[in-house]
Amino acid sequence: MCRCLPIACAILAAAAAISAQTPPPAFNGQEQPIADRMRQLRSLPDNEWTLAVGQLARQIQALPAGAGKLRLIAGLSGLVTEGDAGRETLQVVADTLAAVMAGLPQDQRMYGTLASLARYEHVQVSVDDPKYRAAMAKLEAADEGRLSPQFTLRDLKGRQWSLQKLRGKVVLVNFWATWCPPCRKEMPDMQALYQRFGRRGLVILAISDEDAGKVAPFVAAQKYTFPVLLDPGQKVNQLLAVEGIPKSFLYGRDGELVAQAIDRRTNRQFLEMLKLAGLE
């Protein structure tokens, strides 16, 4: 998942600063090959990605406890949701992250990552800590504001789009940016979904907070035909509490939230979401 930097990098930075605000030590001989492999994940096709992320999760789980293991599992926690990792791999990542965190003082963002895995990826997390409970409460509050939001934005052609006026349609609201690798990776699948289901009532609203001068050439070059909306000032980003991208919210024909994704989704995962809204 991306923010101003990929969230995995942000988490690694937080983990590195846990103890003494000093640069982290170099990875040891066991850890360095894992770190190198993690850097390659985004370049892999989906089938190779799924295999590689599962292998990495288990390799990190088997490492001795220590700062290097924490940095690695924190980084993988930010990458494992960028595709279809599978429930077993997600559970291994959550279990390893929780176990490593138990022995070291943590930044609140680490608890937020663990809570996100539990709430949105539906893994089992058994952590009895006030910081974890606070992170979960924050997610629950954010979800309340996403249930039936109302907003109006203009697309690249100046046309206004109002979520409220799209009642009767199935609406996929996707937050993205041109600089975000997982965003760019999922957009061809979104285009395919739009072509397949558009006549059956699917509307895709792809929202970027970038300038039109950056967004329009990218969209034209990729020949995307779904509506691309601009969110100057990040008002809608804030309304839906979007702190990382890509992020998707699926609204049913009644205007209510049906499903959401905290990161990049594959074509298969998008199809599973659409089934919940009656499109298959």
pLDDT value at 45 more than 90: yes
Lowest-pLDDT range, 8-12, 45-49, 185-189? 8-12
Burial class (CB in 10 A: 0-12, 13-18, 19+), 186: buried
pLDDT tens sequence across 213-249: 999 999 999 999 999 999 999 999 999 999 999 999 9
Average of per-residue pLDDT across 148-155:
96
pLDDT single digits (tens) 67-97: 899 999 999 999 999 999 999 999 999 999 9
Q: Is the pLDDT of residue 8 over 70?
A: no
Global pTM exceeds 0.85: yes
Percentage with pLDDT > 90 across the chain:
85
Residue-level pLDDT at 16 = 44
Cα–Cα distance list, 68 to 73, 75, 101, 231 (Å): 9, 11, 12, 39
pLDDT at residue 6, as a whole number:
40
| Mean pLDDT on 137-147 | 96
> Please, what is the average pLDDT of the chain?
91
Residue 10's pLDDT is what?
41
- Tell me which residue of 143, 69, 71 sits closest to 107, measured CA to CA: 71
CA atoms within 13 A on the CB side of 187: 26
Res 266: pLDDT = 97
pLDDT band with cut points at 50, 70 and 90 for residue 22: low
CB atoms within 10 A of CB 104: 14
pLDDT score of 105? 64
pLDDT at 25: 80
